Amino acid sequence: MSINRRQLLASSAAVSAMGTAMNTSAKKADSRASQEPISSFDGSQDTLPGATGFNIEDRLAIANLCNSYASGYDADDFERWLMQFTSDPVCTIYNPGAEPIRVAGDEFRHLFKQFRTSATNDNVQPLHYNGNLMIKAQTVDSAIAEMYMFYIPFDVTAQDNSGIHSGALSITGTSRYRFEMVKGGDNVWRIAEYTISFDQKTV
């Protein structure tokens, strides 16, 4: 899939910022993050996909939380985006050919704020398209979900009165997400830990 020059520059700048921020984090990776990059989704599941018996109200909240992950980030409503996580969230990022990166708590918040600020500074409007959401497990206060993600770094300058320029909406990255969520005492579901497994070395 072709990538135009503006997208390539924007992507390179974002990846450069990501690499700088992640170098320190990589040294802190624990044994849990030293595993090999995820090659496929976890095939385990407590029940059959079409099974019933779960709390429907919780299931809807879990699905909405997963779908809100990308939309809040893309809208650059960062403070509201952070409300989707527990107070000490953990994120592990897998890139083929590289060591996994694990960030938690304030380090996690700082890193993703850098990602979003870098995109804005490069005139990039992040567009995440998620799909194939699957709830793998659900209990009274915990759940696991997985989904695919397509990424488009839309260059906001690549448009005029004739519309959006050709190639400006090209997918430059694909990944898979796995969320581990918990239900708090306030009856709200939040993301406690998750992994991002990129299919390419850079996006």
User: Please, are residues 156 and 168 in contact by the beta-carbon 8 Å criterion?
Assistant: no
The rounded distance, in Å, linking the Cα atoms of 38 and 18 is 20
pLDDT tens digits in sequence order for the chain, 203 residues long: 333 444 433 444 444 444 444 444 444 444 444 445 455 566 666 667 888 889 999 999 999 999 999 988 999 999 999 999 999 999 999 988 889 999 999 999 999 999 999 999 999 999 999 999 999 999 999 999 999 999 999 999 999 999 999 989 999 999 999 999 999 999 999 999 999 999 987 65
Q: Which CATH architecture has domain 5-37+53-198?
A: Roll (3.10)
The rounded distance, in Å, linking the Cα atoms of 69 and 147 is 11
Whole-prediction pTM: 0.77
Q: Which residues contact 22 (CB under 8 A, 6 or more apart)?
A: 93, 101, 103, 111
Please state the domain extents for the chain.
5-37+53-198
